[in-house]
A and B are shown apart, each in its own frame.
Chain A
């Protein structure tokens, strides 16, 4: 190939990289290979979306906020008995919902696990505790567990000495943020 031919070939390459070197037949063959490779590399990364979980989360959130509203001005241990049943109902509802979320299969992916392990190693080198465990359940289940922990603590303090309005406000703040975590995560799973 002489110099002129090389220059022409380079110009053609710049003009149209695809049509210069790949014939239509070759192009289709390459795309077929890409599809098979891509399909072969398919990995499942997140749990499946379930509308029933969103529905139950909304119902549980309503019950939780009804309970927090009833003590928004603080509470006294003298009238704890009026709220005791509500505490039990809400805690039971949250436990059932946690069970429903945890029963859903959580896909395991070796590549994601490797990335998480690397991230944890780097954090530990800096003296920071593990960010996420590869065996962790979904963040929505953890968030619900924390909502239940807050409600249980509310019940304990309410029964022991009653709550100040400030304590009630802070409990509600934590619960709201955890419910936001659970709902946002579950909703984004909807493809």
Chain B
């Protein structure tokens, strides 16, 4: 049986689009919440120091935490992107694997996602 190239491309496009639509929405929402949160925390700490409502016991800790928060936000963003790339890779390979199995009739070793 011959492989329908157009169908194969459509299947790959569908698989990729589904993942991108879902994950990009998640990543965009996460970034928005985090950036908004970091800005709010910064403003609260600045006004708290200014008003004296933040005491010496917490001031340096909060300032260090702002750095840690931004650092792990960046690392989480990298982690989210890497996870999405992995999903895309698996989806594309899975579609190709399935097309080959159908076209050749050969029982290939079943594709196991990463």
Contacts and interface: CB of A to CB of B under 8 A. Distances in A.
B34 interface: yes
Given A161-B55, A173-B44, A136 B69 contact: no
Q: How large is the interface on B (under 10, 10 to 19, 20 to 34, 35 or more residues)?
A: 35 or more
B2 to A, nearest CB: 5
Given A39-B93, A161-B57, A191-B113, A46 B79 contact: yes
Contacts of B38: 177
Contacts of B53: 164-167
Interface string A143-163: 100100110010011001101
A45 to B, nearest CB: 4
Interface string B54-98: 110110011001001101111110111011111101101100110
A96 interface: no
A184 B30 contact: yes
Contacts of A131: 71, 74-75, 78
B66 to A, nearest CB: 9
Given A38-B93, A164-B55, A180-B30, A169 B75 contact: no
Contact of A181 (B65, B72, B90, B97): B72
Given A27-B3, A136-B75, A174-B69, A157 B58 contact: yes
B20 interface: no
B38 to A, nearest CB: 7
23 contacts: A28-B3, A28-B100, A28-B103, A35-B100, A45-B82, A139-B76, A142-B72, A142-B75, A149-B65, A153-B61, A156-B57, A160-B57, A164-B53, A164-B54, A167-B48, A167-B53, A177-B69, A180-B37, A185-B79, A185-B80, A185-B83, A187-B26, A188-B80
Given A28-B103, A38-B93, 20 more contacts: A28-B3, A35-B108, A38-B92, A38-B96, A43-B114, A46-B83, A112-B82, A132-B75, A143-B72, A146-B68, A146-B69, A156-B57, A157-B55, A165-B53, A167-B58, A177-B69, A181-B73, A188-B26, A188-B80, A191-B90
Nearest to B112: A42
Contacts of B93: 35, 38-39, 42
B46 to A, nearest CB: 11
